[in-house]
Amino acid sequence: MNIEAQLKEKVLEAIQQMYGQVVDPASIQIQKTRKDFEGDFTLVVFPLLRISKKPPEQTAEELGGYLRDHLAEINSYNVIKGFLNLTINNSFWITYLNNVAAEVNYGFIHKKEKPNTVLIEYSSPNTNKPLHLGHIRNNLLGYSIAKIIASQGDKVVKVNLVNDRGIHISKSMLAWQKWGNGITPEEAGKKGDHLVGDFYVKFDQEYKKQIEELIQKGQSEDDAKKNAPLILEAQEMLRKWEAHDESTIALWKKMNSWVLAGFDVTYKNLGVDFDKIYFESDTYKLGKEIVQEGLNKGVFFKKDDGSVWVDLVEEGLDQKLLLRTDGTSVYITQDIGTAHQRFLDFNADEMIYVVGNEQNYHFQVLKLIMNKLGYSFSEYLFHLSYGMVELPEGKMKSREGTVVDADDLMDEMIRTAEEMSRELGKLDGYNEIEKAQINRTIGLGALKYFILKVDPKKNMTFDPKESIDFNGNTGPFIQYSYARIKSLIKKAQEKGIQIPDEINSNTELSLKELQLIKLIHTYPEVLYESSESLSPAIIANYIYELAKEYNQFYHEYPILNEENSDISVFRLFLSAQIGKIIQSGMNLLGIDVPERM
């Protein structure tokens, strides 16, 4: 039982003993004491005045006295109006620290009475271009959230939906057919996703030329966009694909295989993975079947041109297209099929879609459609809507080839780490293989931390130089703090100093040491809050706070040079637990921490 639960139990006991009343546990409000007051935990007395029938100060004094006399962990208390501030004794905090040392994966829930199966969809790339900076935020969020939810005892299934069909795929295919001269990734010396992405950009360039020509011939811009020969050819290619035209399918398979092989390299370098990958080219068929069933049941309706729609006017939205006039499907169609298939595959309790906030309307519609179709799981579909990532220069556009490529960005981060390490002399004495590995860990850690420390709901600007600073709220600062702790422990071992399994509960603590243990005490709460709010930023900023406080402690208090050997060993013990939590928290963010820097 944690200390807050013990306090609540004793308060309930005190009320029954002193006032002869049994009260609802929910009425007992215990919170952390504000920093500007003395104490660790505060009991809000005001809701209890109707029971005590006494003024708030007197009620608080009576409860404080009872708690001090009946709970050994309480050292002292003070009353500020209707607030009872309780100070916990040092022996409790040292015992707690000993428990942390003994626990594997401290803060994790190892056995949950009723674990949920949670599906988390992230990445969801299109096979017409490489992954870019926006995808990096998506993948890092999805992967980290999966680890965080799993830490709280639920079963997590990481899924990816590859958007491998549609008009955007046809554009790349058509451009390669027209201007590729049969080139392959091997011949081009490029990853397949990069090569195909080049032809997506080429399509857009040629399409714009045709639009301009039609406008000059007197067509409106809207008409020119519809009538340009290239877009008509791309639409015809999509129709052929859905009709299983042999040559179109063969080209599609070839180019998709190039892209998927490229994605695999990027995912591996980024350090993310999936338990199952779904393909839109499979699920759209099921989606079309479900739409047809909905049409037969009167859930959807058909317009005169043969297109199929859902009417969401009563729900405050509008009418949404589900099947085009020519029978081809749209994004929402395959999402209907995918949702159905996933719940069949895993009997999931919840489905979380990690998708940017430009798709808020789409997922609102999906949830309403699944509800109209009678799927009970519709209420368990959740869209984790995250903000856009920009560079200091502004927004990126795939069609115009102005996106920041994920592979290039990761390479740049590693190069920047190498330059900074060389300038600071941090890796002097390491061999080239060790340097390369540490620089990779620092570079990717900087990238991941900078993105994950921001609340997912917020838009953000990614600044590569700022992210890799060895000072401030950055990944390298936290990694360096961990390496400092590991170096300290190694030096202690070289001196023959052994860190014990536990510390004497009568050890005297400085205010700074007490503060650090209290910060450690909040880690399980941080994990829970992060899991509930689907925000890795909560863990990221907690780990930074812990590393920052530890570094102040490290500079202000001697550890190995402390004359009192008992105090020295305690500080080593405390350092080891902080190192363990830094490693744990960074691991939940998908970030490695090097033992040497």
Domain containing residue 461: CATH number:
1.10.730.10
Whether residue 317 lies inside any domain: the answer is: yes
Residues 269, 357, single domain; the answer is: yes
Half-sphere exposure (Cβ direction) of 508: Cα atoms closer than 13 Å: 5
Q: Across-strand partners of 308?
A: 302, 323
Residues 190, 156, single domain; the answer is: yes
Residues 326, 432, single domain; the answer is: no
When divided into structural domains, the chain yields a total of 3
Residues 530, 420, single domain; the answer is: yes
Domain boundary among 390, 421, 452: 390
DSSP 3-state of 63: helix
Return d(Cα 331, Cα 512) in angstroms, integer. Answer: 55
Neighbouring residues of 532: CB distance < 8 A, sequence distance ≥ 6: none
- Per-residue pLDDT of 288-344, as tens digits, reads 999 999 999 999 999 999 999 999 999 999 999 999 998 888 889 999 999 999 999
Q: Is 9 exposed, middle or buried (0-12, 13-18, 19+ CB in 10 A)?
A: middle
Whether residue 111 lies inside any domain: the answer is: no
Residue 447 near residue 406, CB atoms below 8 Å: no
Residues 426, 310, single domain; the answer is: no
Secondary structure element (H or E) that encloses residue 201, with its range: helix 192-216
Residues 255, 364, single domain; the answer is: yes
Q: What does the mean pLDDT of the chain come to?
A: 94
- By DSSP bridging, strand 29-32 and strand 41-44 are antiparallel
Residues 365, 416, single domain; the answer is: no
Whether residue 402 lies inside any domain: the answer is: no
DSSP 3-state of 469: coil
Residues 378, 416, single domain; the answer is: no
Residue 442 near residue 419, CB atoms below 8 Å: no
CA distances from 85 to 19, 36, 82, 407, 520 (A): 21, 12, 10, 53, 21
Neighbouring residues of 318: CB distance < 8 A, sequence distance ≥ 6: 312
Residues 24, 138, single domain; the answer is: no
Q: Is the pLDDT of residue 348 over 50?
A: yes
Residues 196, 337, single domain; the answer is: yes
Cα first-last separation, the chain: 39
CA distances from 320 to 326, 360, 539 (A): 16, 14, 39
Whether residue 253 lies inside any domain: the answer is: yes
Residue 87 near residue 74, CB atoms below 8 Å: yes
- Per-residue pLDDT of 259-270, as tens digits, reads 999 999 999 999
Q: What is the pLDDT of residue 597?
A: 81
Share of the chain above pLDDT 90, in %: 88
Residue 82: CATH number of its domain: 3.30.1360.70
Residues 453, 509, single domain; the answer is: yes
Return d(Cα 450, Cα 417) in angstroms, integer. Answer: 14
Q: How confident is the model at residue 429 (pLDDT cuts 50, 70, 90)?
A: confident
Whether residue 375 lies inside any domain: the answer is: yes
Q: What is the pLDDT of residue 396?
A: 44
Read off the pLDDT of each residue in 274-288 and give the average, rounded to a whole number: 95
Whether residue 110 lies inside any domain: the answer is: no
Residues 469, 551, single domain; the answer is: yes
- Per-residue pLDDT of 134-156, as tens digits, reads 999 999 999 999 999 999 999 99
User: From the CB of residue 570, how many other CB atoms can be counted at a distance below 10 Å?
Assistant: 23
- Per-residue pLDDT of 182-218, as tens digits, reads 999 999 999 999 999 999 999 999 999 999 999 999 9
Q: What is the pLDDT of residue 1?
A: 62
Q: Is the pLDDT of residue 240 over 50?
A: yes
Return d(Cα 480, Cα 176) in angstroms, integer. Answer: 47
Read off the pLDDT of each residue in 382-403 and give the average, rounded to a whole number: 71
Q: Can you state the angle between helices 167-179 and 192-216, rounded to 10 degrees?
A: 90
DSSP 3-state of 400: coil
Q: What is the pLDDT of residue 401?
A: 47
Share of the chain above pLDDT 70, in %: 98
Whether residue 549 lies inside any domain: the answer is: yes
Return d(Cα 192, Cα 183) in angstroms, integer. Answer: 11
Q: Is the pLDDT of residue 400 over 60?
A: no
Q: Is the pLDDT of residue 398 over 50?
A: no
Residue 227: CATH number of its domain: 3.40.50.620
Q: What is the pLDDT of residue 110?
A: 87
Q: What share of the chain is helix, strand, coil (3-state, %, to 5)?
A: 60, 10, 30
Q: Is the pLDDT of residue 397 over 70?
A: no
Domain boundary among 64, 88, 112: 88
Domain boundary among 390, 424, 454: 390
- Per-residue pLDDT of 99-147, as tens digits, reads 999 999 999 998 888 999 999 999 999 999 999 999 999 999 999 999 9
Give me 401's structure tokens.
């080839």
Q: What is the pLDDT of residue 87?
A: 97
Could you give the angle at the alpha carbon of 126 between the alpha carbons of 122 and 131, nearest 5°?
70
Give me 432's structure tokens.
């080239």
Whether residue 461 lies inside any domain: the answer is: yes
Which residue range is the domain that position 185 belongs to? 122-390
DSSP 3-state of 3: helix
Give me 75's structure tokens.
């050292």
